[in-house]
Structure 1
Amino acid sequence: MTPALATFHLKHLDALENAYQRVLDEHGYSGVLLYSGHARQHFGDDQTASFATYGHFLHWVPLPGIEHGWLLIRPGQPPLLHWYAPQDFWHLTPELPDEPWVERFRIESVTEPGPPRLPSGRFAVLGDVEADVATALGAECNPEALTIALDELRVRKSDYEVACLREANAQAWAGHRAAREAFDAGAAELDIQLAYLAASRQRESAVPYQNIVGVNHHAGVLHYQHYDIQPVRKRYSLLVDAGHRHHGYCADITRTWAGCDASDTFGALIDGVTRLQRRLIASLGPGQSFVALHERMHWELGHLLASQELVSCSADAAVAQGITYAFCPHGLGHLLGIQVHDVAGRRRADGTPLPPPAGYPALRLTRELVSGMVLTVEPGCYVIPMLLAPLREGAVGRDIDWDAVEALAPHGGIRIEDNVLITTEGHDDLTPAV
């Protein structure tokens, strides 16, 4: 941690201590015990799946990947970190870093996993914890009201969190540049992925989500999950949706590039989606409805489809008839932080649910924007046969140029995604400029 970031982190801890005291008092708790979690073994095996540390634990302790850690928060007392450091010659024993934040915690180092004993009072245990563990401690397990209140504390990012997100974006962007260079050189999807990991300086198990590296028609699979090992004969397109973690905070960036064999229409659509995204970002600020912004994205996408003569109807008609939804079925964006799809995006500040509109079930952020939020802005345009087929069969199909759509199908699709901080005066794009 740099000295500047360490200073930000100490101020972040000050704010957390005050906020937790307020929330615990409001909900009548003497304290809360946060469990970092641990990796789970595959069935019938001694190997474990990839592991992500519990978000509320990471909100305090900047150590992603730490297992069997327990953090006890009690108002008016230093937080107690129950630190699991086993005597082990099979694996490297974890060590606490030499950083200022460690001095703010009372550390109890243990060689066996398990929670600390709790004093008398009303306590809650949060995290991936079995109910019988909480019962044995005399505590409540993941009470919903308390969890929702603590989720809300993660909506507005501190200076420390913003600095971590900015650095995560810088590291991820280095990976995106390398991925494009590999694609232009004729690399296969797996080679592009490896170039990304090398340039962004991370191992595959440490990325915040499985990187999406889609060449040609694979770019039209929204969460494409494979990496072909053979290069393609024709390079129409590359879509890379990939991030990075810095002290547990996630970048989530997507770019789409036209290959040497791409059509002129596809290149124009990339330019159009990019300009659309820049206009949406330019309008961001506190007090704005993200649902309204999502609806504006669909209207602008209708105009873009019409401008490229993919549809012959108006933008309003393209939205009303479900054409734009078929070309972009995902939401415009989501909150971002310790989790890629961060908590509290579909609730008001008081915890009241805010479900997505019926027409846009995949929208993950439905609340009004406030300063301190960090969110993604990621419009897209895809050729997805299973969504377009019903339109072809109905009356709306007359408004779509199916020959033009089919010519685009080998290109897959387009998504352009930045990570943006909402400020008191507007916004700050954390993703490096192209």
Structure 2
Amino acid sequence: MKDLAKYYPAHITELQNRTATILEREGLSAIAIHAGFASKIFLDDMYSPFKTNPHFKAWLPVTETPNCWLVVNGKDKPVLAFYQPLDFWHKVTKLEQDYWTDFFDIKIIGSADEVADILPNNKQGVAYIGAHEDVADKFGFELKNPDALLNYFHYHRAYKTDYELVCMRESNRLAVLGHNAAKEAFFAKASEFEIQLAYLSAVGQGDNDVPYGNIVALNENGAILHYTALEKQRPAQHHSFLIDAGASFHGYASDITRTYAFEKNEFSDLIEAMNVMQLELCSGLVPGASYVDLHIKNHHMLAEILNRFNIVTMDTEAMVNEGVTRHFYPHGLGHHLGLQVHDMGGFMSDDKGTHVNTPSEHPFLRTSRGIESKQVFTIEPGLYFIDQFLTDLSKSKHKDSINWTKIEQLRKFGGIRIEDNVIVHDDGIENMTRDFKLA
């Protein structure tokens, strides 16, 4: 992809500038970023899947190689200690010339401990960023994951460089391939497990490569928000299908959800109504607007749908004010997206980490930060028929306003969630997911 090489230099310049700014502010000289290492499973000789420190992969697309380090100071060429051991047990990732390699002073290390000769001798004023503070202690770092540095980088991570947007478009393109394959498998009456295999094959990524555990839910399983059981037995009848699945590209995630009805019925009409609502919410991602307000607007729009489909007979304003919609939609509208699926910095009002609380009645909202250009969000409204919340409603003062006959008809479908990945621009939005023709 030629755009990677085109935009990468400006990406590195931006990261260097951010690093120089925060080091000067904090009176530090450098940062040592540890990619991490693969952890051995307890009482076993196997390892848990390795996941790279997002602060490391922000700089370069090395996402599968443990024991690597970066030493950056915002001025000099960053030093990369690249782990390339001699190993006849496992396949070793070879370092090859690529669009990013000339931007680093690369030192090859054959063992994890060899990095000691590459790290600064004097650790005074050098901060360690990584998941393994015991490793930091071993190499003599006194300053480990300082809040000032993490807050600064997390806050600014929300503003994506053009290089990052190229990566995120590609992660969406890959995920759409998987979603189309999964949809086809559903209508061929496949099991959840078979649908998952179809998805991964189309994306070309394994369980440990995709950015999170895919949610592949048939029928009533769609009411379980983080369902990952993947039943191998095909159900007696296919009613509905909810898939929440993404892909990774150079460390950047996509996060997409779709819901399908097997037949044309009232549930399919509900899906279409939710789709119209979701697109309108996407259009609300305007610089200067409030994500919290957009989430609250979502509840008012959902109340109208619940009323229109005769699921709840209350006045829509009262439905929201009394918290009835939260029984059908218990999560937030979405979140920041990037190096992590739930990217950092969503609750900050500034780069010092000042926290902005979400409204107490919406505790699961994942961002309270204002909407700005170059940010990337998911928009994922939902409507579910969850036993726990329906039981609570049946015992509440609103029980007579619920159409329980309609609820019983809809329980077997589980729920609906529709999720796109959207870039905010000064002059409008870019819906990456829809641009790749996922309806």
Q: TM-score scaled by structure 1?
A: 0.97
Question: 1:227 maps to what in 2?
Answer: 230
SS in structure 2 opposite 1:288?
coil
The amino acid that maps onto 1:239 is L
Which of 182, 188, 211 is equivalent to 1:208?
Answer: 211
CA contact (8 A) 1:30 1:75 kept: no
Question: 2:111 maps to what in 1?
Answer: 112
Greater mean alpha carbon deviation, residues 38-47 or residues 323-332: 38-47
Greater mean alpha carbon deviation, residues 236-245 or residues 130-139: 130-139
Which of 431, 435, 438 is equivalent to 1:429?
Answer: 431
Question: 2:416 maps to what in 1?
Answer: 414
- 1:34-85 deviations in Å (ceiling 9; x for gaps): 0101221111011112221000100001111221110000232110001111
Q: Tell me how far apart the structure 2 counterparts of residues 356 and 46 of structure 1 sit (CA, whole Å).
A: 44
Shift of 1:355: 2.3
Which of 388, 392, 396 is equivalent to 2:394?
Answer: 392
Shift of 1:317: 1.2
Q: Tell me how far apart the structure 1 counterparts of residues 10 and 121 of structure 2 sit (CA, whole Å).
A: 28
- 1:230-284 deviations in Å (ceiling 9; x for gaps): 1111111000000000001000000000013x6x221111011101001111222
1:168 is the counterpart of 2:171: yes
Q: Tell me how far apart the structure 1 counterparts of residues 79 and 93 of structure 2 sit (CA, whole Å).
A: 17
**Percent same amino acid among aligned pairs?**
37
Residue correspondences, number: 431
Greater mean alpha carbon deviation, residues 69-78 or residues 332-341: 69-78
Question: 2:370 maps to what in 1?
Answer: 368
Superposed CA RMSD: 1.3
Equivalent residues in 2 for 1:333-344, closer than 5 Å: 333-344=334-345
Greater mean alpha carbon deviation, residues 51-60 or residues 96-105: 96-105
Shift of 1:4: 2.1
Shift of 1:18: 1.5
The amino acid that maps onto 1:383 is F
CA contact (8 A) 2:3 2:166 kept: no
Question: 1:87 maps to what in 2?
Answer: 86
Q: Tell me how far apart the structure 2 counterparts of residues 75 and 214 of structure 1 sit (CA, whole Å).
A: 46
Question: 1:291 maps to what in 2?
Answer: 292
* Cα distance change on mapping 1:191 and 1:138 into 2, 3 Å: closer
Q: Tell me how far apart the structure 2 counterparts of residues 409 and 132 of structure 1 sit (CA, whole Å).
A: 50
Question: 2:357 maps to what in 1?
Answer: 355
Q: Tell me how far apart the structure 2 counterparts of residues 266 and 71 of structure 1 sit (CA, whole Å).
A: 52
CA contact (8 A) 2:4 2:99 kept: no
Question: 1:279 maps to what in 2?
Answer: 280
Question: 2:11 maps to what in 1?
Answer: 12
Q: Tell me how far apart the structure 1 counterparts of residues 292 and 211 of structure 2 sit (CA, whole Å).
A: 26
Q: Tell me how far apart the structure 2 counterparts of residues 139 and 277 of structure 1 sit (CA, whole Å).
A: 48
CA contact (8 A) 1:134 1:140 kept: no
Q: Tell me how far apart the structure 2 counterparts of residues 139 and 58 of structure 1 sit (CA, whole Å).
A: 23
SS in structure 2 opposite 1:177?
helix
Question: 2:261 maps to what in 1?
Answer: 258
Q: Tell me how far apart the structure 1 counterparts of residues 344 and 315 of structure 2 sit (CA, whole Å).
A: 37
Shift of 1:131: 4.4
SS in structure 1 opposite 2:268?
helix
Greater mean alpha carbon deviation, residues 10-19 or residues 160-169: 10-19
- 1:183-240 deviations in Å (ceiling 9; x for gaps): 1001000000000001111111101000000000001100001111111111110000
Equivalent residues in 2 for 1:304-315, closer than 5 Å: 304-315=305-316
Q: Tell me how far apart the structure 2 counterparts of residues 395 and 37 of structure 1 sit (CA, whole Å).
A: 52
- 1:153-193 deviations in Å (ceiling 9; x for gaps): 21100111001100100110010000010010010000000
Q: Tell me how far apart the structure 2 counterparts of residues 348 and 119 of structure 1 sit (CA, whole Å).
A: 37
CA contact (8 A) 1:125 1:134 kept: no
CA contact (8 A) 2:128 2:141 kept: no
SS in structure 2 opposite 1:256?
strand
Q: Tell me how far apart the structure 2 counterparts of residues 72 and 376 of structure 1 sit (CA, whole Å).
A: 33
CA contact (8 A) 1:129 1:141 kept: no
* Cα distance change on mapping 1:388 and 1:382 into 2, 3 Å: same
The amino acid that maps onto 1:149 is Y
Q: Tell me how far apart the structure 1 counterparts of residues 249 and 350 of structure 2 sit (CA, whole Å).
A: 27
Question: 1:127 maps to what in 2?
Answer: 130
Shift of 1:134: 3.7
Which of 199, 207, 223 is equivalent to 1:196?
Answer: 199
Question: 2:383 maps to what in 1?
Answer: 381
Greater mean alpha carbon deviation, residues 371-380 or residues 141-150: 141-150
CA contact (8 A) 1:8 1:159 kept: yes
SS in structure 2 opposite 1:64?
coil
The amino acid that maps onto 1:298 is H
Question: 1:50 maps to what in 2?
Answer: 49
